[in-house]
Structure 1
Amino acid sequence: MKIMNTAYKFLKKKGAETMDENIPKYLLIVNWVKEQLEKNNLKPGDKLNSENELSSMFGVSRQTVRHAVSMLEQEKILDRRRGSGTYICEPEVRKKSKTMNVAVVTTYIDDYIFPTIIKEIERAMSKAGYTVQIAFTHNHIERESAVLQNILDRDMVDGIIIEPTKSGIPKPNLELYEEIRRRHLPAIFINSYYPKIRIPHVSLDDQAAGYEAARYLLEAGHEKIAGIFKSDDIQGHLRYSGYTKGLLEAGLKIHDENVLWIDTEDIRNMEADRNRILRRLEGCTACLCYNDEVAFEVVKICQKEGIRVPEDMSVIGIDNSDLATHCEVPLTSIELPAQDLGRLAAENLIKLMEDSSFDAGFEFVPKIVERNSVKKV
């Protein structure tokens, strides 16, 4: 009864189309089956209604029903079993024709470096004939779970580009990523990755970025260097690792009192953390920041406290974003080539979709972009 009701609603929704005799009647059944799969009303292994039932539901002949079923068989959506009936194919068995759709899942979509990355992904995919479906997680684990589950349930994309959510903490969505791998759905992590999940990534070499930023400050004569890093993303851990490597190579000790760990929510309201930040900066002549967003806020806090940048406090960021140039003191920063990142992720996913053995991983070598926020001492 439930399936018949959905057919009735489908026909009612398509009312104007059903009056057009130029539209083949079998396509009503084909499109209805696909829609039910997308909505999860029909699932792999479900038995489809009989020919007589479909004929009655759609008001068409049994020959029309057979034509529709035959088309869906060719697309490996249906499996007709002699003496048993017609069933929805299992995902691992159903090898659908190319949808020419790809999914892009990012933490954010409309601020910082994300618009540039997404624009380049869309441009490269469009050039290759693909349509991009975009979803964002707000860096929330439960939202990431819902987005990935929806992509898997609908099974209507040829590949997926994912910016991981909170990649620096234990991964509750591990099973969903394992399911992506089990289904052999081509996937690439962008801008970050989950260390224990075997999916290639396209990103900045974040450990090298932290190292190069530390070396730059050391070569400018700074020895007491504070650091502010993000705890809930793997980039923060890797950039901290580079920072400590640089200081240790220079024969300096790591002082915990000069290192501040923050999370995604903290970055949105660093003014509330002003006192904690100032305590970490105490006695230092430079600060290495997780990214330009953090560096921008550190400069503002310093200026409000009468700490001059760079005369009293040198500040370096990472990403070389628009914020670096819009800061009141233009920021020296490590470049994350957002345009190249988006373009290469798209191009590598296309190659991976064509050849599952393609090595799609890539890490960009960090480069310093000098401006006015670092002083030689």
Structure 2
Amino acid sequence: MKSPDRIPLGRRTADILEQEILNQRWTKQLPGYRELCARMGVSRRTMETALQILTRREIILPAEGKKARLINPDLAKLNAPSPSERKSLLIYSPKALQDLDVVVRKILEKVTQRFNKKGWSIEFHHNSEFAKGKPGLITERLQRDCPNHRWILILPKYEMIQWCMEKQLRIICLGGEPVELRPPLVAVCYSSLLSSAADNLIKLGHRRLSILLTNTSNNGRDKIANHLKSTLTKHQIHFHSNYHLPHIEHDNVQSHWECLSKLFAVSPPTALIATEPQQISTVYSFCMSKGIRIPQDLSFIIVKECDNLSWFCPTPAHYIFPVAEFVRQICQWVENYPTNIDGHNLLEAKLEPGSSIAPISSALQNK
């Protein structure tokens, strides 16, 4: 298994600030702590660590009392292109960079590194409008200020994609819900991924399995249900939405625990598929409290890469995403925007079995 991504938050914050400085967001001095912490969504202690790192890198000058941190004037001597020659990239996200999934962070870090070296201007924006998929005043202002930018949309919802296409913005979608729209999009098909996980478990003999699905729109849930139903039917398993895709009231520990309690009270599943990293600790804690052994009594798969998989024993089975292929396709589209809209590129993730899945035992099969 690949070692988990463990870049400290202070260093990640320093990397982002360095990119902002090199992109000339600030040219003489940085804003105060309050503004920087609010912008990056980190604590003062984390920001202090980040500024110490930038000082060691000679990006900013050493602190002088309580004065604002000055940017190293030697940076201005770099042979950067003039503003009129500079190409621009805007990354629009539902969350701050440090709060995005591991795979998305890896992809964006490699993409921004590549275009920083090419002298592109890069901006990163996140807000509630984008998270809700409801374009409003903030998104309209970005459209007015950045009409000629390439836009990378992170997991955009249908209405956001539709609005951007109507405004004829040059968008590239990293995941998302395009439905019948056909923007340039690179992704792993989520419904196919979940069906693949189910298929792998069924081939090990598991017929009672459930997917812990959260943070999905009604359209997305319907698509997943249709894919899963097709997979189960292929193996002569009757699809029950309340069992195979149980409703989870809220995306928190209590709701997940209540869902697990109901499942195991009715007909204990022999396999679970998790869709969010925080579900791992809930499932493992629940199993420990009930004396359920993984994988002897329950096989378990998480369909994402996570920071802390090595912390769990047994190591959860998970999917590894083709980061290099994501980066290659996005960079190609950013530099040479497709003239014919209809650029869906669906990639495949590979199952890393870990040690949390096993063939079903005869005792469980006969229950």
TM-score clears 0.5: yes
1:307 deviates by: 1.9
**Cα contact 1:332–1:373 (8 A) shared by 2:** yes
| 2:164 paired residue among 174, 177, 180 | 180
TM-score by length of 1: 0.63
Q: 1:292-324, CA deviations, whole angstroms, 9 ceiling, x for partnerless residues?
A: 443443223322332222122111111233343
* Whole-Å separation in 1 of the counterparts to 2:109 and 2:285: 30
Alignment partner of 1:218: what SS?
helix
Query: What is aligned with 2:109?
Result: 119
Alignment of 1:196-207 (within 5 A): 196-207=180-191
AA partner of residue 104 (structure 1): I
CA distance change for structure 1 residues 194 and 294 in 2, over 3 Å: closer, same or farther? Answer: farther
* Whole-Å separation in 2 of the counterparts to 1:214 and 1:126: 41
| 2:178 paired residue among 166, 169, 194 | 194
**Cα contact 2:320–2:350 (8 A) shared by 1:** yes
Structure 1 residue 330 and structure 2 residue 293: aligned? no
Q: 1:258-298, CA deviations, whole angstroms, 9 ceiling, x for partnerless residues?
A: 222347xx33x223431222212442101122244434432
**Cα contact 1:239–1:290 (8 A) shared by 2:** no
**Cα contact 2:256–2:279 (8 A) shared by 1:** no
Identity %: 14
**Cα contact 1:230–1:236 (8 A) shared by 2:** no
**Cα contact 2:172–2:184 (8 A) shared by 1:** yes
Query: What is aligned with 1:134?
Result: 124
1:188 deviates by: 1.1
* Whole-Å separation in 2 of the counterparts to 1:156 and 1:306: 58
AA partner of residue 354 (structure 2): R
* Whole-Å separation in 1 of the counterparts to 2:357 and 2:174: 30
Q: 1:179-201, CA deviations, whole angstroms, 9 ceiling, x for partnerless residues?
A: 53244321111122331433221
Q: Choose 1 or 2 for highest CA Rg.
A: 1
What is the aligned length?
Answer: 270
| 2:89 paired residue among 88, 98, 102 | 102
Query: What is aligned with 1:41?
Result: none
Query: What is aligned with 1:289?
Result: 274
**Cα contact 2:182–2:342 (8 A) shared by 1:** no
Structure 1: which 5+ runs fail to align? 1-95
Query: What is aligned with 2:257?
Result: 274
1:335 deviates by: 2.5
Query: What is aligned with 2:11?
Result: none
| 1:261 paired residue among 247, 256, 276 | 247
AA partner of residue 247 (structure 2): W
Alignment partner of 1:119: what SS?
helix
* Whole-Å separation in 2 of the counterparts to 1:334 and 1:324: 12
Structure 2: which 5+ runs fail to align? 1-82, 361-367
Alignment partner of 1:103: what SS?
strand
